[in-house]
Amino acid sequence: MSFYDDASLVFLPSGGAGKDGKAYSMKPTNGDGDFTFSRGSNLTATRVDSNGLIEKGRENLLTYSNDFSQWINSNATETSGQSGYDGSSDAWLITSTTNSTSVSYQNKVTSSVSTISLRVKSASTNWLAFRIKATNGSAWFNLSTGSFSTIQANVIHTNVVDLGNGWYKISLTSTSSEFIAVYPCNNDNTFNSTIGNSIYIQDAQLEQGLVATEYIESGATTGKAGILEDSPRFDYSGGASCPSLLLEPSRTNLSSSEYFEQFWSTSSGGTRVYNQITSPEGIQNGTKIYPTSTGSFKGLSKAFGSTLSNTPYALSIFAKAGEFEHLYFYNVGSPNGNNGVWFNLTTGSVGTNQNAWTSAKIEDFGNGWYRCSAVITTGGTSDNLYILLSDSNGSVTATTSGTDGLYIYGAQLEEGSYPTSYMPNHSGGSVTRNADSMQSDTSSFGITNEFTLFIDTNGALVDGTSLNQMDDLRWYTQSTNRYRFYKPSNVIFISNNIQVDDRTKIALKITATECKTFVDGVLDSTISLTTPFASFDSISRDMETKVKEELNQILLFPSALSNTDCEILTGTSYESFAAMATALNYTTYE
């Protein structure tokens, strides 16, 4: 038989991910089977894309990013239609009309680590002042040499890319922004200009984070790209050739994630240098940490006092071996005493794990990067957490040797019994990713009291109990990582407990008199129904605050399949369905 032909609904992540808050079904193709998707928060959700890189939501916080007539121009004129760095006529000429200060700017206040970038070229002056804060937030760029000169204290980082033909892409990073200002000036370390001083500029961008990313055009509203508010997250974690739909609960990242000055302190003579290496994001925003003196507890520390509740917290960070290969988490505080868990960044293994830390895990993210994670139940009184370098497994000592160290990126501290996907936090406070929710209207499918539902899912992780439903059919995902199907109108369970700790394929076969469940090719349970199901009109998955799950596929049949077909269906590999998608010429959206 052909499962595809017989199914009313075929949903596969490889069938296509919408950019408009929808996850498209492969069948039907008229939109009746599409899942609407909502999360309702921006820039805090990520996924692993088909290249194995972490993809964020990105936003150009500037409006009119390449229409400088809409900027505030003081003692300056702007002329459009100039030859640009990209062969277009989209560049602008900014010309001073005064012998004092001339400037083109936008007021743009942010409390997060922010990077401003701009394409620039000399016209009649070789000097440009680039400003993001009123005090100690400026840097001067020499357009004749292609280099920054004076750089003030609040500037974390500057960068120059030679675009050719006299054009440069320049960027400046600061702990926050108050405005974005560009001055054609006379020379280094002054804002003053001379009448007629002019420069070419194009494509301005202000964004959260330590480095400038690919340009996003903006107009009257900010420009956005990547994983946004309601984007389905089709995830390729672990090097998967076919994606799964990542569904997660609401979580809050309490830690600054990439700029470690805001949340973490250096511990006992550890230091850090930013933008030293390409991170798992695929851009150069990885940080090097190293000890400046030999001794114990070299790295990052955070004293919490009583700000944490007496509950489990998951600590995670991406790390890569440098001259050091051992990273460890350490805690000091009641009720656990002093305990650590060590990670070997060369072998990709967990080492010594003292009893306060649980669920220690190291995950390979490619190119030498690993995500290290573990869970600790805090005392809620005087907790201190550390992320530290170590000479060897189980040792708290790090021996200094100049700048020898290791690399880190993406720190995360979240309340819960397991870590969720990375949530960028550039603000120094906390950021929250809202829960994933998806729903499909099945009213046109003609489902009555006999049907078969197939679910292919990857290891659900659960903090509590979550309820999902198709009208009168519901299933609990429980804290022991198990499904249990439920019929609320008759208040009866219609399946055994089904463990979903790993890749699990489940077929739920309903007739007027009984319910059968098949798990990974085997009949799991048979339960009598006192009354038949009524028809149902929707399928929904709402992750609430408790469950993380990777959904590989959903199939819905308007009939009760034979036992043999259910065994075949749940014993069939996912890759065969991906091959089916390819044969039917379904596009994979990334």
pLDDT reported for residue 190: 95
Poorest-pLDDT segment among 337-346, 371-380, 441-450, 515-524: 441-450
The pLDDT tens digits of the residues spanning 218-250 come to 999 999 999 988 889 999 998 888 888 899 989
The residue-averaged pLDDT of 165-173 equals: 97
pLDDT reported for residue 590: 41
pLDDT reported for residue 76: 96
Rounded CA-CA distance 318/505 in Å is 31
Question: Is 381's pLDDT higher than 90?
Answer: no
Q: Which residues contact 24 (CB under 8 A, 6 or more apart)?
A: 15, 16, 17, 18, 34
The residue among 396, 408, 341 whose CA lies nearest residue 370 is: 408
The residue among 551, 584, 518, 571 whose CA lies nearest residue 12 is: 551
The residue among 98, 142, 101, 136 whose CA lies nearest residue 120 is: 142
Higher pLDDT, 70 or 537: 70
Amino acid, res. 16 = G
pLDDT reported for residue 584: 44
The residue-averaged pLDDT of 139-167 equals: 96
Backbone angles phi, psi at 4, to 5 degrees: -65, -45
**Which domains are present in the chain?**
3-42+49-55+436-583 (2.60.120.200), 68-224 (2.60.120), 251-433 (2.60.120.260)
The residue-averaged pLDDT of 324-342 equals: 88
DSSP 330-348: EEEETTTEEEEEEEETTTT
DSSP 478-538: ETTTEEEEEETTTTEE-S--EE-SSSEEEEEEE-SSEEEEEETTEEEEEEE-SSPPPP--E
Cross-strand partners of 364: 370
The residue-averaged pLDDT of 166-183 equals: 95
Peptide bond before 13: cis, by omega within 30 degrees of 0? no
Q: How many CA atoms lie within 13 A of 92 on its CB side?
A: 24
- For Cα atoms 448, 450, 455, give the angle at the middle one, nearest 5 degrees: 105
The pLDDT confidence band at residue 540, using thresholds 50, 70 and 90, is confident
Rounded CA-CA distance 485/499 in Å is 12
The residue-averaged pLDDT of 51-68 equals: 96
Cross-strand partners of 298: 389
Rounded CA-CA distance 448/445 in Å is 9
In this structure, is the dihedral angle defined by the CA atoms of residues 486, 492, 495 and 496, taken in order, positive or negative? positive
